[in-house]
Amino acid sequence: MTQEPGTRRERRELERRARGPAAAVAIVVVALLVLGGAVWFGKDLFVGSPTAAPLAPATTAAQTTTSPPATSQPTTEATVSETPTPTVDPVAAAVDECRSAWARQVKAAAAASTALREWDAHLDIMNDLQAGKISLAKAKKDWAPTTAKAPQHIAAFHSADRTYRSAEQRCALPENAPTGDEAKALSTCAASMKVVDGILAKARAAVEPWETHLKDQSHFKAGGITAIRAEALWRSLWQKGLKRNPPYFRAVAAGAKATCPIAG
């Protein structure tokens, strides 16, 4: 049987000893609660707003997402490849150039022929008038058809001639070209073009007094020059025409056989 403490002091000492472990535990628990509250308050201050709900703790479990396997995408960039340079046949290229040059030259020669045949007829009428074969009235009547479209025909010649000369195309056989029908044809065309070039040179000289005479007649009809002045100018141009026309027509006759086998 346990003996009870005798004095009050002894009883208080026994009670203090009995409360010691429990009080210590209580103090530790209270301290932990206070520390935990302070930590939570600080976390809430820097993570969210003061009124926001606590953030859910981040999970440490790895999140797995299923992604489709990468597939190759077609490229939109054009594949760069070297284009082979086409081989140009020098003879074929020369034939094409010659055909074009001949066509332009023939057009100019034809336009010259139209204009100068009218001029030649105009001169012949003057010859007959001066020889007394026809009257002045007859001469004026016969001159009318020769001048009706003469300005347009002269303009057509100048236009075709400029086109031909500005193109600077010729008939020429390329160097080291193989012999054959095309090479022979090119040689023939080149020779013919030289002949026609000579005709055109004489045509340019022959058409000049004809064009001047038509302009003088227009000035006379408009009152720009007197009848006496107009007649003097006309007689001068008539003589010039008689000198320049024959060489042109002789050249035309001599070059009548000029031809180009490759003409289109």
pTM above the 0.75 mark? Answer: no
pLDDT in tens, the chain (264 residues): 444 445 556 556 555 555 554 444 444 333 434 344 433 334 443 334 333 333 444 444 444 445 555 555 555 555 555 666 667 788 889 999 999 999 999 999 999 999 999 999 999 999 999 999 999 999 999 999 999 999 999 999 999 999 999 999 999 888 877 788 888 999 999 999 999 999 999 999 999 999 999 999 999 999 999 999 999 999 999 999 999 999 999 999 999 999 999 987
Domain ranges of the chain: 1-47, 90-254
Quick one: which of 232, 230, 228, 231 has its CA closest to 219?
A: 230
